[in-house]
Amino acid sequence: MNLRATMGLVVAALSLGFSGATSADAPIKNALLLGEYIATSTGSCLTAPSGFNDKLQPNVPGVSSISTLTNEEIWIFDGAGSVEVTTTSLGTSGVASAPSNPNTAGATGTRTWGTRRYTVGRDHVVTVIATNVHGENFAGVRAGQTLVIDKYLLQGHASRDGETATLATPEPVVETISLSNGDVLPRICHRAVVLLKN
């Protein structure tokens, strides 16, 4: 057997080996995050009732608003790709300075809950996909209203021992929050979360 043929067999064998390991290791990597974690997070949302243009700017800037949030959270990972998250948020909001803006600045309190999907990949990269996040407002002008957030993505890294993780919004994307009074509000949010195993 010549050298070229031998090298071809070695490369093929290594490729099969790495391919098999990647597939087989997926459940093991997800199991890096297991059990209850406590978390704090911060975030900010730009809400535009009339939607956004292709440059991610409000279509009608005069009726947009900006809110900032601080959150206390509990995350419970099952080690297999599912995580339950409960969040209590306090926030303040400011509005665009325009006579046409019907909104006013204020403070809010919100609780959200739900199950999300997660993966732990190469280099301990963690990806969390949240869809149909349910919640309720308990303080502020929307107190008593329930809500649903359609979707958002978080990405970051877990420590090698799985005791801590950091997550953040990887890119600006329009999400939608629907409220029980009928309001459906497009918004762009960024979030940052620090998780510590309890």
pLDDT (tens digit per residue) in 67-107: 999 999 999 999 999 999 999 999 999 876 555 555 677 89
Summarize the confidence of residues 167-182 as an average pLDDT: 98
> What is the model's pLDDT at position 21?
37
CB-based contact 80:27 (threshold 8 Å): yes
pTM attached to this predicted model: 0.83
For 128-137, write each residue's pLDDT tens digit. Answer: 999 999 999 9
What secondary structure does DSSP assign to 89-144, as a single string?
A: EEEEEEE---TT-----EEEEEEEEEEEEEEE-GGGEEEEEEEEEEEEEEESTTTT
pLDDT at 101: 58
* Tally of CB atoms within 10 A around 117: 12
Q: What is the model's pLDDT at position 97?
A: 56
pLDDT reported for residue 10? 34
Mean pLDDT for the chain? Answer: 87
pLDDT at 110 over 60: yes
Q: What is the pLDDT of residue 8?
A: 42
pLDDT level of residue 185 (50, 70, 90 thresholds): very high
Summarised one tens digit per residue, pLDDT across range 144-159 is 999 999 999 999 999 9
- Average pLDDT rounded to a whole number, residues 17-32: 59
Whether 15 shows a pLDDT value over 50: the answer reads: no
Q: Is the dihedral of CA 173, 177, 178, 183 positive or negative?
A: negative
Tens digit of each residue's pLDDT (9 = 90 or more) over 29-46: 999 999 999 999 999 999
